[in-house]
Amino acid sequence: MLPTERRMRMLLAIDIGNTNIEVGVFRDRELFKHWKIRSERGKTCDEYKITLLNLFSLSELEISEIESIIIASVVPPLTPVFKELSRALFNVKARVVGPGLKTGMPILYESPQEVGADRIVASVAAYEKYGGPTIVVDFGTATTFDAVSAKGEYLGGAIAPGIQIAAEALYLKTAKLPRIEIAKSKKAIGRTTVASMQSGLYFGTIGLVANIIKTIKEELGGDATVVATGGLSPLLCGEIDVIAHQAPFLVLEGLRIIHERNVN
């Protein structure tokens, strides 16, 4: 390496969700590789180790290049699994978002430990990128709403069933309604049972999201930048005019930001 060259730092960011686990590799501040794998509570460290080894190999990445790891988890049984994996596979002690880790964002929740790590991380990234006040809408297993003040304080938010949870509930709690694929509806009036269910789920979610955003904006006392993230955001964002930005990797970016704040 030439004297003027600077060695690029490699960070592995892991967002453990209820449905999927998002994994991102950063070179300094650039997210240049990312993958999504199934979140399975029964999987062992060795099983996830094989998955990551294969992903790294297919991407022509070296395990030894990873210098730091940071984890956000809303699935408690998987947190120790990935902490163990960090040591066993990368020989790195992972940072885990939670008490004792500096986020740079005051949390004004009555019980801060109750807030999902992913919600805090996404809020940190949204405020860093777009300023405040900000509302983050995450279209995941649950649809969550998080409000950040103009001063960068986490104020709280709302949690609603995600569109997939709602679809599954219709299938499980009724005798004749089928399990359906989530899809964008062109018309509100469905001409079949499947089309009617898709319409209710699609337009119902849009109405729910738009109304909650409107109410949160009123409580914030003015306008706020609305940022959407989560796997289903591309399906729904186009119908909700108040959403200003779609940021699919918001949690991974937030993990990088929090990692930097704790290193520096």
Q: Identify whether 118 is a catalytic site residue.
A: yes
Beta strands in the chain (DSSP E): 10-16, 20-27, 30-38, 68-73, 95-96, 134-139, 142-148, 154-161, 225-229, 245-246
Two tokens, residue 59: 């991407």
Cis-peptide, bond into residue 133, ω within 30° of zero: yes
Query: How far is it, in rounded angstroms, from Cα 212 to Cα 160?
Result: 10
Catalytic residue, candidates 118, 146, 223, 241:
118
Query: How far is it, in rounded angstroms, from Cα 20 to Cα 231?
Result: 9
Kindly report the CA angle at 189 between 178 and 196, in degrees rounded to 5? 5
Q: Among all residues, which ones are annotated catalytic?
A: 118
